[in-house]
Amino acid sequence: MSKAPKMKTIANQPSYILATKTVEAAITQRAAMLAPVTFFRDTAPLQPYSIAPWAEERLDPGTPQVVACLRGDFLCSAFGGNDEPFEGKRLPVHGETANEVWDFVSFDKGKGGVVLRQSIRLSLQGGGCDKTTALVEKHNIVYQRDDFSGVNGPINPGHHAMLRFPDKPGCARLSFSPFVYAHTFVEPTEHPEKRGYSILKPNAPVSDLTGVPRSDGALTDVTVFPARRGFDDIMIICADPSREFAWSAVTFSEDGYVWFTLRDPRLLPSTLLWMSNGGRYYAPWNGRHVNVLGVEDMTGFFHYGLAASARDNLLTQKGIKTCHRLKPSDTLRIPYVQGIARVPKGFDRVASIEIESDASIKLTAPSGATQSVPCFASFVKTGEIKGLIQ
């Protein structure tokens, strides 16, 4: 067995530490959660991901591990609450991948970067998952690949990235690759009788992200955040599956950077937006989870879980995949890219992301301003990086 990377306990969670000259990333043993991540560590460091304010508190013993550990980005399988059993088995919130301890497999360090491999057996869902996380020298990117194997039946995986925003209303702009459908959560996201509050109109189709209906009859712009203080809301945006890759981006123009993700829309068709701005007053949230945005690229019927995602639903009726169906001999390989780009003054939001060369992508603003970013976009299709990940 290869030697493990440096370990450090961060916000109560033992974590592996991966580092290049430009990026340092922590990955927890439990749930393989990615945070904190420091981008541009050699110049002007940026740490975009959220860590829950209760991370080091003593919580109720019944608190799901995914909530106790909550931070950064993590793999869900099955994505969602999973309140409804599937084939007689009740999966935990966001699945075993988001709650159980992952095994260390290997760690490699070379001139091109560093690679950590972890694995987990899915005792309830069946099969297992092998995770690869890589940092490439001179790239402010985290490359990840999750390989599911031995699964018999439907599976609805997803990423669950959560960003922390400055306490400045409207300081960032969200944008997405072309989408074919968008819809608010089909029921109220939160319920006042349970000390939770939401404001978006439930079960509303959305054609314009800048004019989403609220339950009070007004319209709101969900491309601007932080917004709607005192409420937690959820909606889904379904990418055009014909695109070479789909992307999500959040532009912090005042701070001069963009956080973005790249994915294959046939593997992760949708982005679930969780706009968490103090709408949950029950423990351990207690009204203090504010200025956090979940940009969750996933496969599923909102965040209901595997049972709802495996049957016919509102999204499948629109031609949108909400689960993958596997045989035990199949391998479902899901590559995922997320990173940071510095952008020039006046770059207010991302209008497009395009492949510029084998080793770079180009971000373009509505004004026509562009920014080249070192990135192996081909990883989204191949799941491979020459000399590092095969």
170-185 per-position pLDDT tens digit: 999 999 999 999 999 9
Q: Which residues of 249-274 are buried (b: 16+ CB within 10 A; e: fewer)?
A: bbbbbeebbbbbbbbbbebbbbbbbb
All domains of the chain in start order, with CATH? 7-382 (2.70.98.10)
Task: Please give the angle made by the CA atoms of 356, 362 and 363, to the nearest 5 degrees.
Answer: 165
Q: How far is CA 251 from CA 208, 222, 268, 342, 361, in A?
A: 19, 14, 22, 10, 16
The pLDDT score that the predictor gives to residue 352 is 98
Radius of gyration, CA atoms only, the chain: 20
331, 149 contact by CB (below 8 A) = yes
Q: What pTM value is reported for the model?
A: 0.97
Give the pLDDT confidence score for residue 78 in this predicted structure.
95
- pLDDT, position 121: 98
Task: Kindly list the distances between the CA atom of residue 326 and the CA atoms of 110, 126, 298, 310, 332, in Å, as whole numbers in the listed order.
Answer: 35, 11, 17, 12, 8
d(CA 308, CA 107): 37
**Pairing status of strand 24-28 against strand 34-38:** antiparallel
Q: What's the N-to-C CA distance of the chain in angstroms?
A: 19
Q: Nearest Cα to 64, choosing from 91, 85, 42, 87? A: 91
Q: Tell the residue number behind the tokens 């699964």, with chain if given.
A: 151
């945006």: which residue's tokens? 237
Cβ contacts of residue 80 below 8 Å, gap of 6+? 93, 94, 156, 300, 301, 302, 303, 304, 305, 306, 308, 309
Distances (CA, A) of 241 to 179, 291, 297, 321, 324: 8, 31, 13, 10, 14
Q: Is 310 helix (H, G, I), strand (E, B) or coil?
A: helix
Q: How far apart are CA 362 and CA 374, in angstroms?
A: 9
CB 184 within 8 A of CB 228: no
> What string of pLDDT tens digits covers the 390 residues of the chain?
478 899 999 999 999 999 999 999 999 999 999 999 999 999 999 999 999 999 999 999 999 999 999 999 999 999 999 999 999 999 999 999 999 999 999 999 988 999 999 999 999 999 999 999 999 999 999 999 999 999 999 999 999 999 999 999 999 999 999 999 999 999 999 999 999 999 999 999 999 999 999 999 999 999 999 999 999 999 999 999 999 999 999 999 999 999 999 999 999 999 999 999 999 999 999 999 999 999 999 999 999 999 999 999 999 999 999 999 999 999 999 999 999 999 999 999 999 999 999 999 999 999 999 999 999 999 999 999 999 998
Give the integer Cα–Cα distance in Å for 205 and 219.
13
Torsion of CA 385, 15, 282, 234, to 10 degrees: 0
Residues 6+ away with beta carbon under 8 Å from 14: 7, 8, 28, 29, 30
Question: Are 165 and 225 within 8 A, CB to CB?
Answer: yes
Q: CA 229, CA 362: separation in Å to the nearest integer? A: 34
Q: Classify 76 as helix, strand or coil.
A: strand
Which pLDDT tens digit goes with each residue over 11-42?
Answer: 999 999 999 999 999 999 999 999 999 999 99
